[in-house]
């Protein structure tokens, strides 16, 4: 049956809908009604194509899959059902129906569900950065209490600090902009950068703060660095929620001496005991000598997988960190302090329990180094022979062949001259091939820096530090968090005020945290149908999250969650309007 069979008879107007809008809807329904011999014959009801068009339009509206469109249409059906239930339950149904028609009349200025755009803008609170973070922290504590009731709260967590950026176009910059790269672009743009704190064990944000041009200098007093203060705040929030921070992780942008010194002396979590101070885990940041240092490590048979290295710290004078460094570390000529840390070398992806991977890479590197040295010796020998032969043949001082892009020799004094010349190029190519084998080997290894406690020797329990370094792969949870936050929970915003932009980010964090709370409860309920005591974290290393979604599908998506929230808000307003709740 064609879609046109479900239309009103010819000549009768379809009242209530603008003709252009309905024509677009009609075309989609007609397209869905077309079937070919390549499809299985299914006898659908006449209105099936129209319903399918609604679901398809919903998915397009949400920029989601078909499931998202279905969720949207289902939410509309639930809203209509709630209205009808309220009307049916009213003592006077005729009066309730008349009231509903009056409330939803497009001419009614006092609509029950919406307000003007400017009204919404006026409702946005002008909160400070500290007040906005307080809202996120309070929600985190509340959500952790809910998880504790269901046995889903881990006693120890991993907190990650990383920054996300957004570009801002403004005719009159207000001095708070900084140069940022957004979305992995190579181009630098004016914008805002927000370092965020994220609990990867429970997949919840702990807050964010704006880092402007002068953030590094901080206040004029003897305070701790801003990053240390941010981690202190995160640790206090986790403690308020009844857990402890086991690891602080960050990218190599946070490979700083002040942070490692703060971790060593317990400044990151003052409320924790010395034996339970959180570790700082960050990839080692190299200078221009990265290739040289990495290759020397790979070819050195005496250097272990875990060893002590140092990073310079320059704490502010008269600060608590400066006093602690002065009492424990030797001061360098440039006024800094050498802070020790455990440097852990890993090979491969670093997350797998593969102790032989690093040994295999180092063994291959030594073979390559031997090949490089031999090829260089062979090249030098044939070059020396070539130069000597040229001097004997011409009576002039000879020189090595030019290996650049210039034209090669075509005329030779004798066959031996020609043979030695081509042999030089052959040996040169062999030497280049051996040297080229260094690159994949150096890319296969990376170094993770782990903070030490006072007087600690990491070589005495190297396996523990290797496991801590492998736990660093958990840090990528914040990257997924930024992706979901920006793509699903942030609205488009205009303006150059950092606090207004931060408010938009915080609104997204609040929704994101609730979404992952729902996902965790749904996944855990499905898992506990098989194992009643299933935990969403590793019992032996509780700061590591178990990825339940990889074993059990069907957890609520971000868009489906937003539809549910949106529908529940509409039903609440309808019930409040008609029931006087």
Label residue 579 by pLDDT band (50, 70, 90): low
* 353, pLDDT greater than 80: no
Decide if 451 contacts 260 (C-beta within 8 A): yes
Q: What is the mean pLDDT of residues 53-69?
A: 81
Return the beta strands (E) in 425-481 as ranges.
445-451
Residue 190 has what pLDDT?
82
Residues 6 or more apart whose Cβ sits within 8 Å of residue 295: 365, 369, 438, 442
H and E: helices and strands count for the chain: 17, 9
**Count of C-beta atoms within a 10 Å radius of residue 440:** 11
Label residue 363 by pLDDT band (50, 70, 90): very high
Residue 189 has what pLDDT?
84
Name the range with the highest mean pLDDT among 344-358, 388-402, 566-580. Answer: 388-402
Residues 6 or more apart whose Cβ sits within 8 Å of residue 397: 391
Decide if 249 contacts 159 (C-beta within 8 A): yes
Report d(CA 293, CA 441) in Å as an integer: 13
- In this predicted structure, which of 15-29, 143-157, 556-570 has the lowest mean pLDDT? 15-29
3-state SS, one letter per residue, for 316-360: CCCCHHHHHHHHHCCECCCCCEEEEEEEEEEECCCCCCCCHHHHH
Among 322, 310, 330, 340, which Cα is nearest to 228's?
322
Label residue 172 by pLDDT band (50, 70, 90): low
pLDDT in tens, 254-298: 999 999 999 999 999 998 888 899 999 999 999 999 999 999 999
Residue 3 has what pLDDT?
43
Label residue 188 by pLDDT band (50, 70, 90): confident
Report d(CA 418, CA 390) in Å as an integer: 10
Label residue 366 by pLDDT band (50, 70, 90): very high
Q: What is the mean pLDDT of residues 149-162?
A: 94
Among 518, 516, 562, 481, which Cα is nearest to 58's?
562
Residue 7 has what pLDDT?
47
Beta-bridged to residue 283, according to DSSP, are: 448
Structure tokens at 142: 């509340």
- In this predicted structure, which of 195-204, 329-338, 437-446, 553-562 has the lowest mean pLDDT? 553-562
Label residue 118 by pLDDT band (50, 70, 90): confident
Decide if 159 contacts 234 (C-beta within 8 A): yes
Q: What is the mean pLDDT of residues 109-131?
A: 83
Q: What is the mean pLDDT of residues 196-220?
A: 73
Residue with tokens 């899959």: 65
Chain-centre distance for alpha carbon 513: 15
Residue with tokens 């180092």: 362
pLDDT in tens, 67-117: 888 888 888 888 888 888 888 888 888 888 888 888 777 777 777 778 778
Residue 301 has what pLDDT?
84
- Quick one: what percent of the chain has pLDDT higher than 70? 90
Indicate the domain borders of the chain. 3-103, 129-284+461-488, 358-443
C-alpha pair distances (Å), 382 with each of 1, 211, 385, 414: 86, 59, 5, 16
- In this predicted structure, which of 123-137, 194-208, 319-333, 491-505 has the lowest mean pLDDT? 491-505
* 178, pLDDT greater than 80: no
Label residue 452 by pLDDT band (50, 70, 90): very high
Length of the chain: 581
Label residue 532 by pLDDT band (50, 70, 90): confident
* 406, pLDDT greater than 50: yes
Residue 216 has what pLDDT?
44
Among 539, 501, 433, which Cα is nearest to 170's?
501
Q: What does the mean pLDDT of the chain come to?
A: 85
- In this predicted structure, which of 17-26, 145-154, 329-338, 448-457 has the lowest mean pLDDT? 17-26
Decide if 375 contacts 434 (C-beta within 8 A): yes
Q: Comparing 100 with 408, which gets the higher pLDDT?
A: 408
Report d(CA 227, CA 482) in Å as an integer: 19
* 4, pLDDT greater than 50: no
Decide if 349 contacts 455 (C-beta within 8 A): no
Report d(CA 338, CA 274) in Å as an integer: 21
User: Could you give the count of Cα atoms lying within 13 Å of 419 in the half-sphere of its Cβ?
Assistant: 5
* 244, pLDDT greater than 50: yes
> What pTM value is reported for the model?
0.84
Label residue 14 by pLDDT band (50, 70, 90): very low
Among 155, 139, 169, 86, which Cα is nearest to 493's?
169
Residue 43 has what pLDDT?
60
Beta strand pairing call for 279-283 and 244-250: parallel
Q: What is the mean pLDDT of residues 148-172?
A: 88
């Amino acid at each position: 049956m064609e879609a046109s069979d479900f239309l009103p008879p010819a000549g009768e107007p379809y009242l209530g809908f603008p003709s252009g809008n309905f024509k677009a809807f009609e075309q989609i329904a007609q397209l869905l009604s077309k079937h070919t011999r390549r499809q299985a014959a299914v006898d659908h009801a006449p209105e099936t194509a129209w319903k399918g068009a609604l679901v398809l339009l919903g998915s397009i509206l949400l920029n989601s899959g078909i499931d998202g469109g279905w969720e949207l249409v289902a939410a509309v059906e639930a809203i209509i059902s709630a209205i009808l239930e309220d009307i049916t339950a009213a003592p006077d149904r005729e009066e309730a129906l008349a009231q509903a028609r009056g409330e939803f009349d497009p001419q009614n200025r006092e609509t029950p569900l919406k307000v003007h755009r400017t009204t919404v803008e006026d409702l946005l609170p002008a909160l400070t950065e500290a007040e906005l973070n307080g809202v996120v922290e309070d929600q985190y504590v509340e959500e952790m209490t809910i998880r504790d009731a269901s046995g889903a709260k881990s006693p120890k967590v991993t907190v990650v600090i990383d920054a996300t950026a957004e570009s801002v176009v403004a005719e009159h910059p207000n001095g708070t902009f900084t140069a940022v790269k957004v979305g992995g672009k190579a181009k630098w743009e004016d914008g805002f950068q927000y370092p965020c704190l994220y609990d990867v064990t429970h997949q919840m944000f702990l807050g964010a703060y704006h880092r402007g041009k002068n953030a590094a200098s901080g206040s004029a007093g003897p305070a701790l660095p801003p990053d240390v203060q941010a981690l202190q705040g995160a640790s206090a929030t986790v403690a308020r929620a009844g857990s402890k921070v086991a690891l602080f992780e960050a990218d190599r942008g946070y490979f700083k001496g002040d942070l490692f010194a703060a971790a060593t002396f317990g400044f990151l979590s003052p409320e924790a005991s010395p034996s339970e101070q959180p570790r700082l885990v960050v990839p080692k940041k190299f200078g221009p000598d990265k290739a040289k240092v990495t290759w020397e490590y790979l070819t050195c048979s005496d250097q272990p997988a875990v060893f002590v290295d140092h990073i310079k710290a320059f704490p502010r004078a008269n600060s608590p960190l400066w006093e602690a460094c002065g009492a424990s570390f030797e001061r360098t000529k440039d006024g800094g302090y050498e802070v020790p840390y455990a440097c852990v070398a890993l090979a491969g992806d670093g997350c797998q329990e593969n102790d032989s991977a690093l040994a295999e890479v180092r063994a291959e590197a030594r073979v390559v180094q031997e090949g490089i040295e031999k090829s260089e010796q062979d090249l030098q020998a044939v070059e020396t022979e070539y130069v000597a032969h040229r001097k004997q043949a011409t009576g002039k001082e000879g020189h090595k062949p030019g290996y650049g892009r210039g034209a090669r020799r075509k005329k030779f004094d004798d066959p031996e001259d020609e043979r030695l010349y081509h042999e030089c190029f052959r040996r040169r190519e062999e030497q280049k091939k051996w040297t080229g084998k260094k690159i994949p080997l150096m890319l296969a290894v990376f170094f993770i820096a782990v903070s030490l406690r006072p007087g600690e020797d990491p070589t005495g329990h190297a396996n523990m530090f290797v496991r801590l370094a492998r736990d660093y792969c958990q840090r990528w949870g914040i990257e997924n968090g930024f992706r979901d936050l920006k793509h699903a929970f942030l609205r488009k915003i205009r303006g150059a005020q950092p606090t207004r932009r931060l408010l938009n980010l915080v609104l997204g964090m609040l929704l994101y945290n609730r979404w992952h709370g729902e996902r965790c409860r749904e996944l855990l309920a499905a898992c506990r149908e098989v194992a009643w005591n299933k935990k969403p974290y590793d019992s032996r290393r509780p700061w590591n999250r178990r990825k339940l979604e990889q074993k059990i599908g069907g957890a609520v998506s971000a868009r489906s969650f937003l539809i549910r929230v949106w529908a529940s808000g509409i039903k609440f307003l309808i019930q409040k309007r008609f029931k006087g709740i």
